[in-house]
Structure 1
Amino acid sequence: MAPERGDPDEGEDPYERKDPYLDYRFTVEVDSLVFAGFTEVTGIEREVETEEVEEGGVNGFTHHLPTGYTNSNLTLSRGLTDATELWDWLQLSGDEPVDRRNCRILLQDTMGAETWGWEVHDAYPVRWEGPDLEADGGAVAMETLELNHRGITRIDGRP
């Protein structure tokens, strides 16, 4: 007899509790090269734009119709090292044609297996920020790269 909550994959318990993924295990790839050491990724965001339309004779509400998507810039932060690939990419992006690259952000479970993934299409750097330097501080020197892109999608084959 089939379970009441749907048809699970073979060997999968349909009643097993699924904990949410933790946000500290992830990798970032740029053109299939893994960039290790990012401590923060922000801007994984996609929003539906809407247009308000009032219907004649209907005073109880206003229609909100979808008109397209907007995407936030993606921001990558990591400790500053001798690796110069992010700075080099920024230097290339100020010229025509713009050096656009696809990026992937891959979230991992506690065992290190990839769970969720996002592809950022045709990204290019629009801002690099170096570390704040303080003689009496002891914090890690950080670099931040902000990317503009043409859209973000979920990578097929992930949940």
Structure 2
Amino acid sequence: MAENQDPAVSVCFTVRIDDNDLGWFNTCEGLGLEVVLESREEGGNNGFVWQLPTRIKYGNVKLSRPVGKDSAKLTAWLCSFANGVARQTATICAMTGDRDVVATWNLDGVIPVRWSGPSLNPDTAKVAMETVELAHHGFLPGRAGT
């Protein structure tokens, strides 16, 4: 049977941090990296400036979803940091509408840096959303089963 090559069009994401399944999210922003360059001018060479890579910077990842049953999982995980912060490993899987995994990212040294809950206002009929922001130290190669 042919392997599914469908792109993640109706995207949803599952998030697992170490042994904590945080459930489904419907937006994921900030997956990426930036190579910081240092410019060096060489005496007598006026044709170009050397661009030397110095370090890699990783942006924070923001995950959002409507408040639901999985919100309790996220709250429990966040409460576990009350007695100290320990860096953990996160796995984010992008899935199609049929729940087939099309891409996986493993993040090293994950810590939560911000959580925002819904604005509960009876005057507006909006979906109650929550967002968690995670800092990390970079990407890890894929693990078996992910």
User: 1:57 is matched with which residue: 14, 34, 44?
Assistant: 44
Higher RCO, 1 vs 2 (CA within 8 Å, ≥6 residues apart): 2
User: 1:93 is matched with which residue: 76, 81, 102?
Assistant: 81
Residue 24 (str. 1) matches residue 40 (str. 2): no
Larger mean Cα displacement after TM superposition, 28-37 or 128-137: 28-37
User: 1:74 is matched with which residue: 54, 57, 61?
Assistant: 61
Larger mean Cα displacement after TM superposition, 137-146 or 78-87: 78-87
The answer on whether the counterparts of 2:15 and 2:22 sit within 8 Å (CA) in structure 1 is yes
Identity percentage of aligned residues: 35
Counterpart amino acid of residue 115 in structure 1 = V
SS in 2 for 1:87: helix
Name the counterpart of 2:109. Answer: 122
The RMSD of aligned alpha carbons is 2.6
Name the counterpart of 1:8. Answer: none
Distance change >3 Å, CA 74–CA 94, structure 1 → 2:
farther
Shift of 1:51: 0.6
Paired residues, number: 142
Unaligned runs of 5+ in 2: none
Distance change >3 Å, CA 60–CA 50, structure 1 → 2:
same
Counterpart amino acid of residue 92 in structure 1 = S
Counterpart amino acid of residue 145 in structure 1 = V
Q: Distance in 2 between matches of 1:110 and 1:78?
A: 16
Unaligned runs of 5+ in 1: 1-10, 13-17
Q: Distance in 1 between matches of 2:110 and 2:83?
A: 14
Distance change >3 Å, CA 92–CA 55, structure 1 → 2:
same
Counterpart amino acid of residue 48 in structure 1 = V
Residue 134 (str. 1) matches residue 131 (str. 2): no
The answer on whether the counterparts of 2:88 and 2:108 sit within 8 Å (CA) in structure 1 is yes
The answer on whether the counterparts of 1:29 and 1:105 sit within 8 Å (CA) in structure 2 is yes
Distance change >3 Å, CA 53–CA 20, structure 1 → 2:
farther
SS in 2 for 1:116: strand
Higher strand share: 2
Q: Distance in 2 between matches of 1:52 and 1:22?
A: 40
Q: Compare CA radii of gyration and give the structure with the larger one.
A: 1
Q: Distance in 1 between matches of 2:89 and 2:10?
A: 22
User: 2:28 is matched with which residue: 27, 41, 44?
Assistant: 41
Name the counterpart of 1:6. Answer: none
**TM-score relative to the length of structure 1:** 0.74
Shift of 1:103: 0.9
